[in-house]
Amino acid sequence: MKFRVLAQRGKARAGVLETERGEIETPIFMPVGTAGTVKGMTVGELAAPPLDARIILGNTYHLYLRPGLDVIGAHGGLHRLIGWDRPILTDSGGFQVFSQGDSAKIDDDGVTFRSHIDGSSHRITPERSIEIQATLGSDIAMAFDECPPGGAPREIVLRAMARTTAWARRCLDGPLASGQVLFGILQGGADVGLRRRHLDELGPMPFAGFAMGGFSVGEPIADMYAALDSFADELPADKPRYLMGVGTPEDITRAVAAGVDMFDCVMPTRNARNGQLFTSEGKLVISHARHRMATGPVDPECPCETCTRYSRAYLRHLFFAKEILYSRLATLHNLTHYMRLVRRLRAELLDSQGFK
């Protein structure tokens, strides 16, 4: 994998991440395919305009539990299982495990947890996380980390940092799949001093890129913005910078300005299913009565099929009728909005440096 910065204005930058399965233009938003599918979308739709997604995200925890590594291995990896020939990033499973709270038993070696599906007991260590991701065959794997909740006491954050550092070293010793690279994950909460301290520990390690975990986990948004503004551009300049699990269009715009290159979030797909659509004029709640007779599109500036073919009144009807088509159309629109946002931010950066 190679990463090149093509243009930079202030801290914001536009680049290209080269992988064996294709180029990824940054800044980039990665649609989340938790269980091996971006909900409501076929891989053909994801790859075609207006989405043209260059990379999607898979969830190690969920795929490990279901369909299981035997099924995925029999297909030769996640790409063949889901029919996707472009890059995939897989998370380490850590966030989902630690989200179980007290039911997950954490020690310095790893984490024991129970499946949310059938209650069976499982254990993931740094080595096991890398083994799972190697079986998945993702292009970018993530190191196993401990993610403390937002607002956690300082001693809890420090313990999570220490474990994440120790686990990062163990992840680097694990065998990756052919062509697979590994990103490290920085913790430290909203404390810039702790973030810098953790970067001092992980920065010298030979990761292909670095992610910032532990944001958007309950801390005030203003604290996240302040930390990103102070810290994001201090991550290695020659490697991609990834902000995990964030966020709204405003969050992404602010983070790009702070120097971040990569994003993922369930918000565009989850909010679509729940009736919230992102538009050039702000958020739109399709259930509101004012859309009952609305013959216009969700967003007249959007080129997606949802906006060029269907009215808000029709979408509202589908939403209340609980028709599957609503979720598909709403998801297509929200993902298009996010993709257009990062492409516009990229174009503005390239234009500012004289690129055509």
**Catalytic residue ranges:** 91, 264
CA distance 124 to 160: 16
CA distance 268 to 57: 14
Helix axes 249-258, 324-352, angle to 10 degrees: 20
CA distance 48 to 43: 9
Q: Cα dist. 309→312, 317, 325, 328 in Å?
A: 10, 15, 13, 14
Q: Both ends of the chain: CA-CA distance in Å?
A: 25
Tokens of 251: 């969050």
Length of the chain: 356
CB contact set of 279 (below 8 Å; sequence gap of 6+): 298, 299, 301, 302, 337
Beta-bridge mates of residue 201: none
Q: Are 17 and 23 in contact (CB under 8 A)?
A: yes
